[in-house]
Chains A and B, each alone.
Chain A
Amino acid sequence: MGATNISFKDAWAGAALLVFVSGQVLAADEQDVTNLPIEQLLDLEVSTAARYGQKQSEAAATVSVVTAAEIRQFGYHTLSDVLRSLPGFYISNDRNYDSVGVRGFSRTADYNNRVLLLVDGYRFNDSVYGNAPLGQDFPINLDLIERIEVISGPGSAVYGNNAMLGVINVITKKGGDLNGGRLSGMAGNLGTDELGASYGKQTEEGTGVLLSASKYHSDGADIYFPSYGGMARGLDYEDARKAFAKVSTDRLTVEGTFGQRDKGVPTASFGQVFGQSGSFTQDTWWNTSVQYTAPLSEALELTSRVYYGGYQYRGDYINPQNPAPSVAPTTLNRDETVNRSLGGEVRLLVTSFSDHKLLFGADYRDDPALNQKNFDVAPYKLYLDDRRKNDTRGVFAQDDFALTERLSLNLGLRHDASRLGGSANSPRAGVIYQLDPNATTLKLLYGSAFRAPNAFEQFYATPEHNVTLGNLRPETVRTYELVVEHRPDQRTKLGVSAFRYEMDNLITPTAKFLNQTISAANPIFYTNLSATVRGVEIRGERVQDSGARWRASYSFADARDRLASAWLPNSPRSQVKINYATPVPGRDWSAGLETQYMSNRQTLNGLDTGSVWLVNATLVPTHLAKGMDASFSINNLFNRKYQDPATLEYFNSMNQRLDFIPQNNGRMLMAKLSYSF
């Protein structure tokens, strides 16, 4: 038994003992008063807490919430669709994965490992790549999502690793939200279709059950790549299969998720032979989790979670025959990655001290398998077979402290340590001042976050690299933000933020190391970048008498390589988002219109992508017949063609580079019908 095992045991035993003791001392009042007649209720004595709750305007972060209603009104199909409508967020796509950028910072093909994705509170990013799936690779159908809470800015002081640029918390529906069965079918152009079946039920005792499965297919676009001088036909396909199950009571939730996505790779990335079929990636996610929330007393609430899950990646690459073409013109090369994780966490919320709201937490994650393999399929030749284990521990404390009626402080600190990734401390502090308690709030926020080097960055090295990999340290960000929030009336909310991010030790791929040129097909990772991002964000929301809602934002960000003082690649300086959703007069229908502007970005080689304006429109007719609802969307209404910057790995077997990934899907029509019973 190793040292890490002992410390794990000690930590859990200690936490368990603490919780057990406090549970006994402050045992909950278990009496169910909801079944008492009202006459009796009137006679019961009530206890009131000294100070309860926190309004969103007092929160020490900028939080955006997207509800199930908005997901429906705007016809969103993926988390990427949701994120790109939010202030400062943008999505780049390399015809394989979606990459999220926040406030002018995005390293395309970082597999979103600089945001933390939570599903019902548990960590979803895998441990080999830190991958947060945001497209069809995310295994939960958006129809099953109750709300999505997105924090802009660092979240490591509570959540630890990966929460550099933001935290996305997906909260799924419960059985009672469906209350019956539902069948749905969707069809769109580019040969896109989706079929889904769901069932949800809630018993009288409050136990809910939710089951769902869906299947998605798209033929994808035919894409012309100018630098390859050719067209990739039928190679952009995508297939996804998803299943979800959840059983919940008011305190206990057990859920299971499965998703698998195959995506054709049309770009001949990593030096493949262009125009060949057979190159694709397969991402498989499965997860089980148990969450238990116990009100230990009126002022003490404990949430604990355990999860066990896996992520598997397979990538098939069509490489040129090596050595020079003999019998077959190509060789099938394969990546196989396996990650299994077991994790648990406890959160204790203490509201027993007047003017303080304390949150304590501890978590542990064991990765018994972090395996990466690369080989030629036939004739079999092994290039890499790396097997690792890791474990990660974190503890944190946070206090929301009301100094006066108007002035409050938010203080937090978290410590993380992992066997492979090193350790980090993440402090945060916020001062929140109610200039006018009903209308204007001023916030001054300091935050910090980190990302530990992952197994892919540290250990994916085939013999052709011919180098010893650098000793990677965790990358860090420190942020300073001034926020003014103002509510001129009850229907309108305005906010302005000015921010500065200082990012250090950023782990980035490089094809050159110590004056040695390394195959760009397998770049190595090196901490060779420090960046500074400065910017301003303006947000507004308004609800009209008719029930129509506006949400609009403008964000400006200047992201620079601090040493070279050069503008970072894939960093739009300006973004505009406008979302408008309205009920259709006289009917129980809704209509949603959104527009997104992104200014030009730079590629790795300093070329210009140009800017892009996109407009999407959705009409949601409900109750067409008994149980029959529909949704019609036109994405990219004005049929804009645009491009995203390509990364280092985008070149073919002829060593021809891609600077741009064409986004030429054009206008997309989607019709969806669902039948509830």
Chain B
Amino acid sequence: MDFRNLIRASLFLTMLFPAAAHSAPIPEYQLKSAFIYNFATFIDWPAGMGKSLTLCVAVPQEAMKYFSALEGKRVGNMVVTVRRLTQDDSAEGCRILFVAESESGSFEDWLSEVDDEQVLTVAESEAWLKKGVVIDLMIQDKRVVFDVNVDAARGEGITINSRLLRLARKVYGLGTADEPAEK
């Protein structure tokens, strides 16, 4: 009986793999995870950071799977490690910090924890960009767009490839203090 149950259980497991189908719109956080992975490749990370690039994300539980999928991907010669942050976690050791608006209750704590580090911070609203977050991911006309705060990037001590800046919807802090600069 023991063994039969095992077979049933394995049969059951194999049935869980649904037939792949295709639908046009991409789930929000799946797309945003792809953006964040791309951002990572556009940063000139300082040498001597070790072998792993820690991506910390505070997103709803249901969206976590998309970020977990980035685990093990390469950025230069570093391997991405994904860490989920919830309210009480520490952001120490994070190199990329993405905080969804719905999970932003502890964002300021996390920002202060990584204050001295070179960290790429990513948020979902303009308000955070003005508080010193480097990139803002938003949805406009059913597309994901992003703004960059280069002053904040400079403050963090990270260098963003100009190709990424060209693709941004707005770039804050080039010359003017608050107004978006022309691309």
Task: Show the binding face of A for B, using Cβ within 8 Å.
Answer: 5, 8-9, 12, 15-16, 19-20, 23-24, 27-34, 36-39, 41-49, 52-57, 64-65, 67, 69, 147, 174, 176-177, 179-180, 202-208, 250-251, 290, 292-296, 298-299, 301-302, 304, 306, 308, 340, 342, 344, 349, 351, 366, 368, 438, 487, 490-491, 493, 541, 543, 545, 547, 549
Instruction: Establish whether residues B74 and A543, one from each chain, have CB atoms under 8 Å apart when the complex forms.
Output: no
The answer on a CB contact under 8 Å between B26 and A29 is: yes
| Residues of chain B at interface, number, CB under 8 A | 73
Interface mask (B13-44 → A, CB under 8 Å = 1, otherwise 0): 10111111111111110110111011000100
Q: Are B73 and A44 in contact (CB under 8 A)?
A: no
Q: Which of A27, A39, A250, A342 contacts B5 (CB 8 A)?
A: A342
- Are A547 and B16 neighbours in the complex by a CB distance under 8 Å? no
Given the contacts A20-B15, A34-B34, A42 and B102 also touching, CB distance less than 8 Å: no
CB pair A204–B73 under 8 Å, yes or no, is yes
Given A52-B60, A57-B87 in contact, is the A46-B25 Cβ separation under 8 Å?
yes
Q: In the bound complex, do residue A342 and residue B6 qualify as a contact, i.e. CB atoms below 8 Å apart? A: yes
Chain A residues contacting B61 (CB-CB under 8 Å) are 53-54
Residues of chain A with a CB closer than 8 A to B73's CB: 34, 204, 206
- Taking a contact as CB atoms closer than 8 A, the residue among A39, A41, A202 that contacts B31 in the complex is A41
Smallest CB–CB gap between A249 and chain B, Å? 9
A37 to B167, CA, bound (A): 11
Task: Say which residue of A28, A49, A54 sits within 8 Å of B20 (CB atoms).
Answer: A28
Q: Flag if B65 contacts A295 (CB, 8 Å).
A: yes
B182 within 8 A of A: no
> Complex formed: what's the CA distance from A36 to B15 in Å?
30
Q: Which of B136-144, B149-157, B173-181 contacts A (4 or more CB under 8 A)?
A: B136-144
Contact yes or no, A38 B167, CB < 8 A: yes
List the A side residues contacting B79 at CB < 8 Å. Answer: 176, 179, 202, 204
A-binding residues in B (CB < 8 A):
1-2, 5-6, 8-13, 15-28, 30-31, 33-35, 37-38, 42, 51-52, 59-63, 65, 68-74, 79, 81-82, 86-90, 92, 100, 102-103, 105-109, 112-113, 139, 142-145, 164, 167
In the complex, what residues of A have CB within 8 A of residue B89's CB?
65, 67, 147
With most chain B CB atoms within 10 A of its CB, the pick from A24, A179, A438 is: A179
User: A46–B52 contact, CB under 8 A?
Assistant: no
Known: A42-B144, A55-B105. A203 touches B72 (CB 8 A): yes
Determine if A30 and B8 form an interchain contact, defined as CB atoms under 8 angstroms apart.
no
> Could you tell me the distance between the alpha carbons of A521 and B63 in the complex, rounded to whole angstroms?
54
Task: Chain B residues near A27: list those with CB within 8 A.
Answer: 18-21
Closest residue of B by beta carbon distance from A343: B9
Q: Identify 10 new A-B residue pairs, CB closer than 8 A, beyond the known A24-B18, A52-B60.
A: A12-B9, A16-B15, A29-B22, A31-B22, A41-B144, A46-B27, A250-B65, A344-B9, A366-B2, A490-B109
| CB <8 Å contact, A351 and B38 | no
Are A53 and B26 in contact, with the CB atoms below 8 A? no
Q: How far is the CB of A28 from chain B (nearest CB, A)?
A: 6
- Chain A contacts for B102, CB-based, 8 A: 52-53, 55
A122 to B176, CA, bound (A): 55
Interface centre among A33, A180, A299, A344 (most CB of B within 10 A): A33
A661 smallest CB distance to B (angstroms): 34
The residue in chain B whose Cβ has the minimal distance to the Cβ of A489 is B108
Complex Cα gap A257–B21 (Å):
37
Contact yes or no, A543 B16, CB < 8 A = no
A42 contacts B71, C-beta separation under 8 Å:
no
Q: What residue of chain B has the Cβ atom nearest to residue A22's Cβ?
A: B18
Residues A549 and B144 in contact, CB atoms below 8 Å apart = no
| Contact with A202, one of B12, B15, B35, B72 (Cβ below 8 angstroms) | B72
Contact A174 B112 (CB under 8 A): no
B26 in contact with A31 (CB, 8 Å): yes
- Rounded to whole Å, the gap between the CB of B68 and the closest CB of chain A is 5
